[in-house]
Structure 1
Amino acid sequence: MQKIIAQIAQEIGVRTQQVEAAVTLLDGGATVPFIARYRKEVTGGLDDIQLRELEVRLAYLRELEERRAAILKSIEEQGKLTPQLQAAIAAAPTKQELEDLYLPYKPKRRTKGQIAREAGIEPLADKLFADPTLDPTVEAQAYVLKDKTEAGDDFTTAAAVLDGVRDILSERWAEDAALVQSLREWLWQEGLFQSKLASGKDENNVDVAKFRDYFDYDEPIGRVPSHRALAVFRGRTLEILDAKLVLPVEPEPGKPSIAEGKIALHLGWSHKGRPADDLLRKCVAWTWRVKLSLSTERDLFTRLREEAEKVAIKVFADNLRDLLLAAPAGPRVVMGLDPGIRTGVKVAVVDATGKLVDTATVYPHEPKRDWEGSLHTLARLVEKHGVNLIAIGNGTASRETDKLAAD
């Protein structure tokens, strides 16, 4: 827990003691508005924005640690936890990176790659990748089975065995966390977010026509403005638009794509006309087209939606803030008094446009009972800013504060 507290303190730029106090209050059932308003002295003055960020990050980091512990336990029970893997899992800063590392060890339904491994084909896959000068068809003969397996899987021909090699290698490469992360980040920078009118939709229909700007639209996914992203996702939900992630340059027919080239580069392999190179090219293509393209699109669409929603919420919050901070009583200079006893009466002055021009705190009530000093401060603010209206909050000590204002 101390690790989480230290991380949050660093992220929001406060002391660890402040975060620890806020966490204790949140765990005790206190809400962010309550803590921001009534427990400032406990948290060292954390405001509602800091507390909201703290609350969100606390929930995320706790879930991250719980998932980290569950993953370590699962891999350890499988007998596959190495010191290097344990260190990588311990250092993973996000849920997505954690899941990338866990993917090869995650219990899953019986895949084609697993079926091929169960049939004893994995040594052939390793051999052909390590030495592409070997002839795949010749080498596969030693792995051909006379009959189907007990589960009904057919490896009675060399072609079926080589399909098994393809399934083993493509599955292995698609579970390479470093490869998956590099492709994901490359596509976030270079990939295109594309939308088109869904097949069978009438573009002249009133409801459909609202999305006319996105009938033939594409833009780099990492630079899509939030309003456009949300509009496309809304159109897709209504089944008016088809959205997909496309490569920055579409490959020529029969040619490998840029994504396939990046996979090959990561693996340190290139086609040199050796006997096994055509098979390995097929494995690389299968890794992208069957294993990684759709999952990467899903991950990046989720990231785009989350970031777009954050921006939309911020825009709404800024607009609401401007509305709430507009001149409260027309073009008048207003002094606002927020009554309080132990913590004092908070004072704020806004000008005729609603702009905050001055603040103060006075202590006319218990325990300080500085009535005269409070009157002097209020009189100074009234004279300095030409206050012509006083607003008093309704709550603890509001009647006593009303008397102060009257004096």
Structure 2
Amino acid sequence: MLDLIKIVSEELNLKKHQVENTVKLLDEGSTVPFIARYRKEVTSNLNEEEIRDISERINYLRNLEARKKDVIKLIEEQGKLTEELKTNILKAEKLQQVEDLYLPYKKKRKTKADIAKEYGLEPFAEFILKAKNIDEIKIEAEKYINENVNNIEEAIENAKLILAQNISENIAVREDIRERMLKFGIIESKLIEKNKKIDEKNVYQDYYEHSEYVNNIASHRVLALNRGEKEKILKVSININDKTKEFIIIKILNNLNKNIEELSRQIIEDSLSRLVFPSIEREVRNILTEKAEIDSIKVFKENLKNLLLQPPLKEKNVLGLDPGYRTGCKVVVIDKYGLYKTNDVIYVAMPGDNIEKAKEKIKKLIDKYDIDIIAIGNGTASRETEEFVANTLKEVKKDVYYLIVNEAGASVYSASKLAIEEFPDLDVTARGAISIARRIQDPLAELVKIEPKSIGVGMYQHDLNQKKLDESLKEVIESVVNNVGANLNTASWALLSYISGINKNVAKNIVAYREENGKFKNRKELIKVKGLGNKAYTLAAGFVVIDDGDNPLDNTIIHPESYHIAEEILKEIGFEKSDLIKNRNEIIEKLEKLDIDKFILEKEYGKETTLDIYNALLKERRDPRESIPKPILKSDILKIEDLKEGMILEGTVRNVVNFGAFIDIGLKNDALLHISEFDNRIEDINSMLSVGDIIKVKIKSVDMARKRVSLSKKGI
């Protein structure tokens, strides 16, 4: 049995007690955000990423141990388990090693080699491995002629099938070929000519005749090839050159009977071409896909995190527009508190539309509701709607700006149960426009209502392992929501459901309790909520705040279990918790002079926890999103015809992928900033750019025919 804690601690370069304590907390049901923030002494200050790494590795190793037990049991049931085999299985450190060991015993479709064994030819196959020459083999073959084996030739051919299968199931052979295919294999794709018409937009044109080394292929190209193959547009294969094949043959030949080299070579070549190469090719394709999925999910997670952390434009009255052609542009008004006020429809994108009538409607709404910002969805007819808005704002006296909003997922939300619960009397188009408008007031609160993979910041997300993707994205949302925190008296159940220790049903119960009993007065009141017990309260309490409750500490990140430490610190400087509101400035002044290290030594409280409490008292609770640059607001439209090579513009990063980033510079389509367009060579673009960043870019080229713009950072 492997020492899982020791393995994980060595792999992650952590102390054994850190891993052991973290695993214990996770097994007890503690969440990652809770452990990272409130159990620093127990884990010796591990961060969320380190805790998640421990969780992932320990789960993998536990699954590995479970698989070992299953495999041992399955082989034992066949009566074929030896002590040596059992030891090898137990010593395996990777799932692939266990599967390789199990392969000869795995129940599979009956092969020709299995039938040959049933004919009694297995001893003859073993004889061939020791024979001195072909004549000796032929003489021995006569003993195996029976009602199923008609002659010497058939006996030899059947024995060759058995030996070929044995080679294909040899662990050392498979490991060696797998490694060589990963290092020296060439992945190739060709167009399936008869299906070319399926690729109407030439999406896969770059892969119609494509080849590159397996060890060099980028993740996004692996996923593109997989999709092209799935859509029956491309034929994809992995091959190794003749020199490598010959090297493999000779290596296997050295372990076979050299007295019958020609026959041995025939057996090896048959085994490789018919059994080993196709099998290992599938495994290597799976390895490439798995790696590509990990990379793609990593990119998606980073983009989603940065999107969710976009700064809210608070206390702004917003007019939301969901553009459309035939059905018109849906208009909604949301006040500065996010409350829905009214909706309408205007027609501005089709010839013959009454533009003047639409302008009057918008101007009246701006006047009546004191609109600060107009939010325009970036979907169908967005460009025409933007032009209409820019022209209308020229006729408005007050300063009103507009902003193009990524509307990905708005239609998913608008038809969801949650949207129907929120706005039962509105149709889906109005709900979609509300989602667009609210996304600039508080992106996090709105985006948590949408299935993460529908938010539109990923790469090939629909081709990925959906279970892994969902789990990973849930982790991101959980991390961001708990980092930002939630107001217990205003947060929706969708937001609360991501708070540590709170599931969807409990979140709904919190909102129901609030509606029935009025605002929460203190965190302790959470215990009265149906389904929320002491354990859930401990996990959740520090991540929900009450800004005007009975206890000022309830509006901090300080956990209720540590309020006594906060009160001790305040007492040390001559104050009580009630003074936090009326004597805030004096408290800060005295805290700054307090020797907190001396206090920690005297009181013997945990150092990390006490420092967090001290800093929470010293600084007012701040939204971590406030330090991020606000989105660019616009008052006029930019056309592709206005662009010239070398022009420098400011843009917002909308999506980051392995090969570059898509930048919103104010056109209908985002422009591409390729990874090669930086002054210095960049290995990981995520280290340079994040979704939401506002950056200066230079126009590299403008393709008027395809309406594409390429950008550069060189020389800026």
TM-score scaled to structure 2, two decimals?
0.44
Counterpart code for 2:216: R
Residues 230 and 129 from structure 1, CA distance in 2 versus in 1: closer, same or farther, beyond 3 angstroms?
A: same
Deviation at 1:377, TM superposition (A): 6.4
Q: 1:101 offset after TM fit, Å?
A: 1.3
Is 1:297 the counterpart of 2:281? The answer is yes
What is the one-letter code of the residue matched to 2:183?
Answer: Q
Matched, 1:214 2:197: no
Equivalent residue for 2:218, pick from 201, 225, 242: 225
Query: CA 1:318–1:205 in structure 2 vs 1: closer, same or farther (change >3 Å)?
Result: closer
1:57 is aligned to 57
Aligned equivalent of 1:15? 15
**C-alpha contact (below 8 Å) 1:179/1:263 kept by paired residues:** no
Of 204, 213, 234, 1:241 maps to: 234
Contact 1:264 1:270 survives alignment (8 Å): no
Cα 1:366–1:58 change in 2 (3 A) is same
Secondary structure of the equivalent of 1:200?
helix
Tell me the SS of whatever aligns to 2:3: helix
Q: Tell me, yes or no, if the aligned pair for 2:198 and 2:233 is still in contact at 8 Å.
A: no
Aligned residue in 2 for 1:356: none
Measured at CA, do residues 109 and 227 of structure 1 come closer, stay the same or move farther in structure 2, by a change above 3 Å? closer
**Counterparts of residues 346-361 of structure 1 (less than 5 Å):** none
The aligned counterpart of 2:47 is 47
Q: CA deviation at 1:300?
A: 0.4
Deviations 1:124-173 (A, max 9, x none): 2222222251324443222111x2xxxxxx31222221221111101111
Question: The residue matched to 2:235 in structure 1 has which SS?
Answer: strand
The residue aligned with 1:144 is: 145
- CA distance in 1 between counterparts of 2:105 and 2:47 reads 43
Tell whether the 8 Å contact from 1:203 to 1:212 is kept in structure 2 after alignment.
no
Tell me what 1:73 maps to: 73
1:189 and 2:183 correspond:
yes
Say whether 1:268 aligns with 2:261: no
Instruction: Report the Cα distance in structure 1 between the residues aligned to 2:109 and 2:218, rounded to whole angstroms.
Output: 39
RMSD: 3.6
> In the alignment, which residue of structure 2 is the partner of 1:92?
92
Q: From the superposition, tell whether residues 201 and 377 of structure 1 become closer, same or farther in structure 2 (CA, over 3 Å).
A: farther
CA distance in structure 1 between the aligned counterparts of 2:254 and 2:45, rounded to whole angstroms: 55
Give the letter aligned to residue 219 of structure 1. Answer: E
Are residues 80 and 2 of structure 1, via their aligned partners in 2, closer, same or farther at CA, if it must alter by over 3 Å?
closer
1:173 to 144, 160, 167: 167
1:198 partnered with 2:399? no
Q: Give the whole-Å Cα distance in 2 for the aligned partners of 1:270 and 1:128.
A: 10
Mapped contact 1:196–1:215 kept (Cα < 8 A) = yes
Whether contact under 8 Å (2:219, 2:295) holds in the other structure is yes
CA distance in 2, matches of 1:109, 1:290: 15
Aligned pairs for 1:127-166 within 5 A: 127-131=127-131, 133-135=133-135, 136-145=137-146, 147=147, 154-166=148-160
User: Which residue does the alignment assign to 1:254?
Assistant: none
1:104 Cα deviation after fit: 1.9
Deviation at 1:247, TM superposition (A): 1.4
Instruction: Determine if the alignment matches structure 1 residue 314 to structure 2 residue 308.
Output: no
2:566 alignment partner, one of 345, 365, 380? 365
Q: Helix, strand or coil: the match of 1:244? A: strand
Shift of 1:238: 1.7
CA distance in 1, matches of 2:17, 2:2: 11
Cα deviation for residue 68 of structure 1 reads 1.1
Contact preservation (8 Å) 1:183, 1:259? no
Matched, 1:259 2:245: yes
The 3 A distance-change label for structure 1 pair 23 and 114 is same
C-alpha displacement of 1:364 = 9.2
Using the alignment, how far apart are the partners of 1:129 and 1:261 within structure 2?
21
In 2 relative to 1, CA 156–317 (structure 1 residues): closer, same or farther, beyond 3 Å? Answer: same
Structure-2 separation of matches of 1:24 and 1:376: 40
> Does the residue aligned with 2:196 lie in a helix, a strand or coil?
coil
Alpha-carbon distance in 1 for matches of 2:46, 2:273: 50
1:230-259 residue CA offsets vs partner (Å, 9 max, x unmatched): 11112112222111111134xxxxxxx743
Identity of aligned residues (%): 34
3-state SS, counterpart of residue 218 of structure 1: strand
Moved more, 84-93 or 214-223: 84-93
- TM-score (normalizing by structure 1): 0.74
In structure 2, distance between residues paired with 1:337 and 1:63? 34
C-alpha displacement at 1:378, in angstroms? 7.1
**Residue 134 of structure 2 aligns to a residue in which SS?**
coil
SS of residue paired to 2:190: strand
Given residue 165 of structure 2, which amino acid in structure 1 is its aligned partner? E
Equivalence for 1:404 = none
Judge conservation of contact 1:260–1:285 (CA < 8 Å) in 2. Answer: no
Q: 1:378 to 1:240 in 2, by over 3 A?
A: farther
SS at match of 1:130: coil
**For 1:170 and 1:74, how far apart are their aligned partners in 2?**
24
- SS of residue in 2 equivalent to 1:217: strand
Residues 132 and 188 from structure 1, CA distance in 2 versus in 1: closer, same or farther, beyond 3 angstroms? farther
Deviation, 1:218, is 0.9
Q: Structure 1 residues 29, 2: CA separation in 2 closer, same or farther (over 3 Å shift)?
A: farther
Contact kept in structure 1, 2:253 and 2:268, CA below 8 Å: no
What secondary structure is seen at the aligned counterpart in 1 of 2:93?
Answer: coil
Once the 2 structures are TM-superposed, how far is the Cα of residue 87 of structure 1 from its aligned partner?
A: 2.9
What is residue 392 of structure 1 aligned with on the other side?
622
Return the offset for 1:314. Answer: 2.6
Unaligned ranges ≥5, structure 2: 314-482, 486-541, 544-552, 559-563, 576-585, 594-618, 625-716
Query: How many residues were matched structurally?
Result: 349
Structure 1 distance, partners of 2:195, 2:108, is 39
Q: 2:196·2:233 contact (CA, 8 Å) conserved in 1?
A: no
Over 3 Å counting, the alpha-carbon distance change for 1:270 and 1:7 in structure 2 is closer
